[in-house]
Amino acid sequence: MDAGEALTQLQVQQWLDQEDAWMRDTVRRHGWAVQYVLGDACSGPSGCACGGSPGADPPFAYTVGLYGFGHPELLVYGLGQHAAYALLNELGERVRRGERLDPDRPLAVGDAAFQVRFVPFRDDGDLPVLISAQRFYEATQDRPVPALRVIWDG
């Protein structure tokens, strides 16, 4: 298929079916999955040669499966894929061990190199941010999956 050709409805459904199967299997085996979404913003240092502008849409990552532990899903903006996976997996392990990540309570992470805070995030827009989590839990715009945004405590 050429890059310019549109996907058919059947192709889109087949892709979604494969994505759903991967998500179910990953959450069943590991407890949660991390979904990474590329952005078109630069998250590098000032003067980075990547071509992205700092004010554009940053990359983000979020968990799918922590709600199954009775905990909100977690969302972080602006990190590269490796750093986002490391952070969300560390926090996911804490949730698995029974720790509650409470809003506005600072928490040391990454060998206590820095702290993060958690703020409530309501994913009830026309186009959800946490698309995979909303699909996984069959959530609706009126009843989205609870989530916390992870922010750096400067």
79 occurs within a structural domain: yes
- Both tokens of 83, joined, read 């750093």
Residue 57 pLDDT class (50, 70, 90 cuts) = confident
Q: Which of 32, 4, 7 is nearest to 132 (CA)?
A: 32
105 occurs within a structural domain: yes
- The residue assigned the tokens 């839990």 is 137
Q: Is 70 exceeded by the pLDDT of residue 3? A: no
| Structural domain span for residue 116 | 9-45+52-152
Q: What is the pLDDT of residue 41?
A: 60
3 occurs within a structural domain: no
Residue 12 pLDDT class (50, 70, 90 cuts) = confident
Task: Pinpoint the alpha helices (H) of 35-112.
Answer: 81-96
Q: What is the pLDDT of residue 46?
A: 55
Domain count, the chain: 1
Residue 47 pLDDT class (50, 70, 90 cuts) = low
Mean pLDDT along residues 46-60: 66
* pLDDT mean across residues, the chain: 86
* H/E run at residue 77: strand 73-77
Mean pLDDT along residues 133-138: 94
Alpha-carbon distance of 76 to 88, in angstroms, equals: 8
Q: Is 80 exceeded by the pLDDT of residue 38? A: yes
Q: Is 70 exceeded by the pLDDT of residue 13? A: yes
145 occurs within a structural domain: yes
Mean pLDDT along residues 124-149: 93
- Global pTM reads 0.82
Q: Which of 122, 40, 33, 34 is nearest to 81 (CA)?
A: 34
- Both tokens of 140, joined, read 């609706």
